[in-house]
Structure 1
Amino acid sequence: MWPALLATFLLLSHFSAGSRIPESHLHKRSLQTRNLVTDGSIKESYDFVIVGGGLAGLVLASRLSEDSNTTVLVLEAGLSGDEVATQINEPANTYYNSVVGTEYDWSYTTAKQSGLGDRTTSWPRGKVLGGSSAINGMYLTRPSEIEVNAWQSIASDGGNTANSWGWDAFYAAMKKTETFDAPSDDIAKEAGIQYDKSSHGTQGPIHWGYPGYTFPIVGSWTESLANIGIGTNDDAAGGQNWGGYIAGSSINTANWTRSYSRSGYIDPLPPRSNLDILPSATVTKIVFDTSNASNLTATEVQYASSAQDQAKSVKVKKEVLLAGGTIGSAQVLMISGVGPQDILQSAGVTVLNSLPGVGQHLQDHLSTGLVYETPESTSTAGAMRAAGGDFVNSALFLSYINSATAYVNLTGLLGPDGASSVISAAKQARDASVKNIPSQDSGVLDGYKAIYDVTTDKFFSSEVGQIELLLSITGGGIMIQAAIQHPLSQGHIYITSPSMFDKPVIDPGYLTHDVDVTIMREGLKMARRLGQAAPISGFLGKETSPGDGVNSDDEWNTWLRGAVGTEYHPTGSCAMLPKAQGGVVNAKLQVYGLANVRVADASVYPFEFSSHLGAPTYALAEQAAALIRAHYNGVEETSISSSSNSSGSSGSNSSNGSNRSSSDATRRASSQLLYCLIAFIASLVAL
């Protein structure tokens, strides 16, 4: 027996980075045998009850349970994901074999959008451990220093200076979350990948990597952008994120799998008796002690596996932490009696805390693209997939995901005169645009104006990107996409019944502001100019959508209203703003009027970033955990930014990710050795 086991171990130790170790060794066992629990085995009470086991929720669970005397329960509405591990783990399955549209997706749909010709649009969100980090497109980009500092400024209220959300602290937190896996020299050269290692972490739970396979068209991206006046960015992670580059992706290059909140923050943990994670548990209500009407205390959380099942409850000793995302967190608050009074009363919910901002300030990135035929001479992932063959089932091929990116500011998009004209028009329309806001609460309207002013004064007038351009080569054609980054349009989320099993109404108010239409249109025009520029033009066939019948501004406006949809980055529904501006949480993430409830997910951003939201939300959750631990350890917030680097990879004694003494080769070798050891131990268990 032992010689055979030793031979197995030695064989595994020689696996290349492009090989795949069986998922039963990498994914399924670790969580199921350690922290995953059934309903009958949870404790009567916990220090912290986390509502939502998604991207942020699992970060919180991992970090808070590092304190062995702190008990943590995660209630996740979705399943564990073990049954669809291959679909989740293999990066390219985000295109070819996605769980979107299945029981692992909330499958939300918006209300009819007047700005889109009364169309509804789909809003996929992950309903599985890991949340949307388990089903998304895996882009890792970061917001700019300008945006993060603007967030700190707008979130500050009197003596509350929001120290955790300034650039220095947040930059350190973003680095803390990641392990940077540099691309191979060949991949970097062919794809035109540039980076600065000093802007990245080295020992965090989430891997920032690049595919193990690429295509010549990707390498034409930044040169083509330069030929239309958009410069190349060789350090997009360092605070100046504008320009063209090949973005990082949440890929673990040791085994070419998706790196997400479950695989990074939970699966590697040693056994923790103080951490329980319960899937298939939809939170139905937070129960409050109302003896102090101005500062309610959460005493228990109710949950059920379906609308037909009787709700069960678990007691809360310290805090309830909402991490249900932009939709879920706002819905839980409203169902529990916290939110706009008129909405709660209409839904049949008793109002316990009238908080007008809950569900308001809803924003989203809006996107569509130009589609081109793929010539026979052009190699793309989509064309190779269609042709078939053994290689398209290999780990290397399945590691390829789209990542060519550019963020373009107003001046780059419109020229100096055009940018000045749009900024002037936006400022003049500010007061009139208030009529488009669904809430007419004076505080919510003041918050809208504050966000509006930040957008026009700090974002429109700076180098911050207003349009994102993306290259997609994984479908039947080639697409150059454009996505608006700082919409002036806002909407809201609201409930219509007291049941969490009834989906809320989602109304993002797409394109209800004329300036958004202008920026979106000009972004698409730029996408067309890019498609006509060398050298990328040599890889493209005929433009099939919208085609040569769309040229004038009116034609573009009509077409885009029928074509745009979500870029999957909703935010703002539990905005971090002063209460007087329709805020829901303060800078410590505490819900106004509640003694022991916080929100820690993407819903708290008061405005959109010029970034995909994965990387910043990992950092937000890290900072949230630091704030909470500091509170119970008697540490002031001002100390958090300096101490946020003291803890490294979850479940280890690693540092904050600023140690650059280890080479990429050493890190990858260590990772592969770890997986081999896991496989070896699993073989022993199987015997």
Structure 2
Amino acid sequence: MYARRLAALLGLAALPLLTVADMRHEYLTTRDRRALASGIVYDGQIASSYDHVIIGGGLAGLVLASRLSEDSNTTVLVLESGDTGDLVRSQIDVPGEAYYSSLLGTTYDWQYMTVPQPNVGNRALSWPRGRLLGGCTAVNGLYMVRPSALEFNVWAQLQSGAAGADDWAWGSMFAAMKKSENFTAPSAEVQQAGAIEYNVQSHGSSGPLHTSFPGFIVPAVGNWTETLDWIGVNPSADPDGGQGWGAFIATSSINPDNLTRSYSRSAYIDNLPPRPNLAILPNATVTRLILAQNGSSVRATQVEYAAYDGAPKLTVGVNKEAILAGGAVGSPHVLMHSGIGPQSILQPLGISTYVNLPGVGQNLQDHLSGEVVFSTTAETAAQLHGSEGANGTSAFMSFINSAIAYPNITDLLGDYATTYQSDLLNNLTWAAANLVPSTDPTIIAGYKAIYQSQANTILPSQVGQVELLFGLTGTSFGTNTFSVQAALQHPYSRGQLYINSSNPFDHPVIDPGYLTHPADIILMREGLKLARTIGQTYPLNGIVTGELSPGNSTVSTDAEWDAWIPGVVGTEYHPSCSCSMLPLSEGGVVDPQLRVYGTSNVRVVDSSVFPVEFAAHLMAPTYGLAEQAATMIRQFWNEGYVPTNGTTTASAGFPSQTGSGSSNSSGTGGAKSAALPTVEGKSAGLLAGVVALAVLLAL
């Protein structure tokens, strides 16, 4: 314990302790040398300013860091609030540990909570978010499920013809998602056992992110697509090619070479060659952007950060851009503390309003999920894990839940679908007047635009309205059980996120507004009914011995379902849309170039910019978003030229703006280096710290 404290004082908390004998042979482990080479800063020493300062080292932040630093004359800094994840790398790397030894609820999780939700049993619900390098990609369930082409096209259409809108349509995003991907087909044995179908032409083959399938399949998975077929939800032979509906076994972010998790750090950072123009600083919570008036807009000149609440606040200069990549919670949180957001929220807190932007934190959406639980005679992954435990093979521990289905509105409602759509449209005025948390007319206009796109375009299409998941990794009822989860994909309810404290270390207020629209309650109910039907349908019913929750005798009528649902549903971990890309007149926060309205050099690049929720998990589209954003930013600063062969080039674009060097805004704390430290310099500093630690431990 004392050694750990000493290590922390020396800035080495993220590193394993080394003995003197270790140092005689090899003073840094292979992993630590790799981290140093790829830019992770362990000693806290960074330069006074950088061209691009990225706030958040999660999915999008590390993609941007990797891509932007390909230009050797462009300097890039990532500030990540969480730790490196080095000490829990085994939990991260083993896919199955996402279920059996999760990092959720630990210090590697932000542990956000919603406010009590009146329509969900007045419960405050957990909203986990990854807080370490890699963000949620280091702790999630590994699903690589893409939205359908129609959903991306609706996103583009919602931009009302603004320049760059087509960058977010299917054609562009399909290419960007493939660019991120290195797909490997399943083994013949796994493919047959799981009845897996795929189209290799819909996948990328040379991107950094490995996608594949587990090395082991629980036999029950082989029943999934056939069972769905019997109830009219057809199997999909190409779920990643723009038609993401029907039933299938999803691709996962798994490296098939060693059956480990492939996530934004391992894919985009760990294998980089030495780049002295890239620095990634963990344990650095961004507290605000420091802004200055720049003509009719404002400009970020510095980024302020601190190691923890109460620690000295430091600043780093921004030469070109500040890029927010903090996710659906983090990005609006930082914007508001910086003075960009609804003036009605900021002014009472004493925060100067640089840009009165009502849309920041509004249009908040999430996938709400429930489950039906069955007892079974078949082997489940949870049962096998209980018998094999830590001795389980890497193939077995690569098994994750990946059987999925997206039934459309007709699958769910049958002939009632037309009436449901008509009722939705007839209630638009009521919904806009009563369900939008903000009274700002631009926010209400944006809600109406999205509502109409959902009801008129997405709803009557084949796009899924509910997601069904086959859960074989255990339930609260024991290992000899499985679940079929149902999650609402296109909610008509809306929430908001805002700050109620001037302390940036205080969590924001999160109010998803779950089930405030009656249409959402109907689809949630019908999705769970379909989940029950799956357990009663051949061939899956052959392994079912009973329904444990909610139980046929307990819940059967619509009224009984509606009374049961509020007490059991929770997040599917897909919050988005809180910094929506929409016209300013419709409550938008960013334009199609991802620039924050009213600013000249602030962008947001993460899932908060989606204006609509997708019938998909958000990892795949966010990788596409980040790739697209990196290309866009490089083109802007390199006057349209981006190398296509992956080699580094000198930046031919706008000159860096200087004069915004680093300072310590609290007047205390150590000085920073005046230039980018070299990789060798970091290694030498780290070695000195390790030697000092060894001496102290010997006393």
Q: TM-score, normalized by length of structure 1?
A: 0.88
**Alignment partner, residue 445 of structure 1:** 444
* Deviations, residues 302-339 of structure 1 (Å, cap 9, x unaligned): 00011111100000000000000000000000000000
Contact 2:37/2:272 (8 A) holds in 1: no
* Pairwise CA distance, 1:541: 2.3
* Pairwise CA distance, 1:29: 4.0
Equivalent residue for 2:224, pick from 211, 221, 225? 221
Per the alignment, do residues 479 and 311 of structure 1 end up closer, same or farther by CA in structure 2, a change over 3 Å counting?
Answer: same
Q: Following superposition of structure 1 onto structure 2, how do residues 269-668 of structure 1 map, counting pairs within 5 Å?
A: 269-290=272-293, 292=295, 294-375=296-377, 378-388=378-388, 391-392=391-392, 394-415=393-414, 417-434=415-432, 435-475=434-474, 476=479, 477-548=481-552, 549-635=554-640, 646=644
* Pairwise CA distance, 1:115: 1.4
**Alignment partner, residue 103 of structure 1:** 107
Distance 1:86 1:63 in 2: 27
SS at match of 1:298: strand
Distance 2:363 2:159 in 1: 14
Distance 2:82 2:57 in 1: 8
Contact 2:144/2:250 (8 A) holds in 1: yes
Distance 1:529 1:56 in 2: 38
Q: Is structure 2 residue 188 aligned with structure 1 residue 185?
A: yes
* Pairwise CA distance, 1:40: 4.2
SS at match of 1:41: coil
Equivalent residue for 2:156, pick from 134, 152, 155? 152
Equivalent residue for 1:200, pick from 180, 203, 219? 203
SS at match of 2:119: helix
Contact 2:198/2:238 (8 A) holds in 1: yes
Contact 2:111/2:128 (8 A) holds in 1: yes
Equivalent residue for 1:129, pick from 123, 129, 133? 133
Contact 1:391/1:397 (8 A) holds in 2: no
Equivalent residue for 1:236, pick from 235, 239, 246? 239
Contact 1:204/1:648 (8 A) holds in 2: no
Per the alignment, do residues 290 and 556 of structure 1 end up closer, same or farther by CA in structure 2, a change over 3 Å counting?
Answer: same
Equivalent residue for 1:57, pick from 39, 54, 61? 61
Distance 1:524 1:347 in 2: 43
SS at match of 1:551: coil
Q: What code does the residue aligned with 1:508 have?
A: P
Contact 2:374/2:547 (8 A) holds in 1: yes
Distance 1:650 1:530 in 2: 52
Q: What code does the residue aligned with 1:367 have?
A: S
* Pairwise CA distance, 1:117: 2.0
Q: Is structure 2 residue 166 aligned with structure 1 residue 168?
A: no
* Deviations, residues 200-249 of structure 1 (Å, cap 9, x unaligned): 00011111110000122100000000110110100000000100000010
**Alignment partner, residue 46 of structure 1:** 50
**Alignment partner, residue 665 of structure 2:** none
Per the alignment, do residues 261 and 495 of structure 1 end up closer, same or farther by CA in structure 2, a change over 3 Å counting?
Answer: same
Contact 1:321/1:599 (8 A) holds in 2: yes
* Pairwise CA distance, 1:96: 0.5
SS at match of 2:158: helix
Distance 2:136 2:519 in 1: 30
Contact 2:120/2:567 (8 A) holds in 1: yes
SS at match of 2:78: strand
* Pairwise CA distance, 1:524: 0.4
Q: What code does the residue aligned with 2:69 have?
A: S
Runs of at least 5 residues in structure 2 that lack an aligned partner in the other structure: 1-27, 650-699
Q: Could you say what the CA RMSD is over the residues aligned between the two structures, in angstroms?
A: 1.6
Q: Is structure 2 residue 93 aligned with structure 1 residue 94?
A: no
SS at match of 1:141: coil
* Pairwise CA distance, 1:499: 1.8
* Deviations, residues 666-685 of structure 1 (Å, cap 9, x unaligned): xxxxxxxxxxxxxxxxxxxx
**Alignment partner, residue 80 of structure 2:** 76
Contact 2:37/2:275 (8 A) holds in 1: no
Distance 1:172 1:649 in 2: 20
Distance 2:502 2:647 in 1: 40
Distance 2:542 2:219 in 1: 11
Distance 1:123 1:650 in 2: 39
* Pairwise CA distance, 1:161: 4.2
Distance 2:256 2:44 in 1: 38
Distance 1:86 1:430 in 2: 50
SS at match of 1:290: strand
Distance 2:450 2:368 in 1: 18
**Alignment partner, residue 255 of structure 1:** 258
Contact 1:478/1:540 (8 A) holds in 2: no
Q: TM-score, normalized by length of structure 2?
A: 0.86
Per the alignment, do residues 124 and 390 of structure 1 end up closer, same or farther by CA in structure 2, a change over 3 Å counting?
Answer: closer
Per the alignment, do residues 108 and 40 of structure 1 end up closer, same or farther by CA in structure 2, a change over 3 Å counting?
Answer: closer
SS at match of 1:575: coil
Per the alignment, do residues 442 and 390 of structure 1 end up closer, same or farther by CA in structure 2, a change over 3 Å counting?
Answer: closer
* Pairwise CA distance, 1:387: 2.4
* Pairwise CA distance, 1:389: 5.8
Q: What code does the residue aligned with 1:406 have?
A: A
* Deviations, residues 529-578 of structure 1 (Å, cap 9, x unaligned): 11100001112221100112101111101111111100001111000000
Q: What code does the residue aligned with 2:41 have?
A: V
Contact 1:468/1:485 (8 A) holds in 2: yes
Give me the identity figure in percent.
51
Runs of at least 5 residues in structure 1 that lack an aligned partner in the other structure: 1-23, 637-642, 652-687
Distance 2:173 2:89 in 1: 32
**Alignment partner, residue 685 of structure 1:** none
Contact 1:50/1:320 (8 A) holds in 2: yes
* Pairwise CA distance, 1:374: 2.7
Number of equivalences: 615
Q: Is structure 2 residue 40 aligned with structure 1 residue 36?
A: yes
Per the alignment, do residues 650 and 365 of structure 1 end up closer, same or farther by CA in structure 2, a change over 3 Å counting?
Answer: farther
Distance 2:44 2:211 in 1: 38
Distance 2:96 2:442 in 1: 45
* Deviations, residues 112-154 of structure 1 (Å, cap 9, x unaligned): 1111121110000000000000000000010000000110110
Per the alignment, do residues 26 and 553 of structure 1 end up closer, same or farther by CA in structure 2, a change over 3 Å counting?
Answer: farther
Q: Which runs of 4+ in 1 moved over 6 A?
A: 648-651
Distance 2:404 2:313 in 1: 46
SS at match of 2:297: coil
* Pairwise CA distance, 1:446: 0.2
Q: Which range moves more in the overlay, 57-66 or 37-46?
A: 37-46
Distance 1:485 1:650 in 2: 41
* Pairwise CA distance, 1:388: 3.2
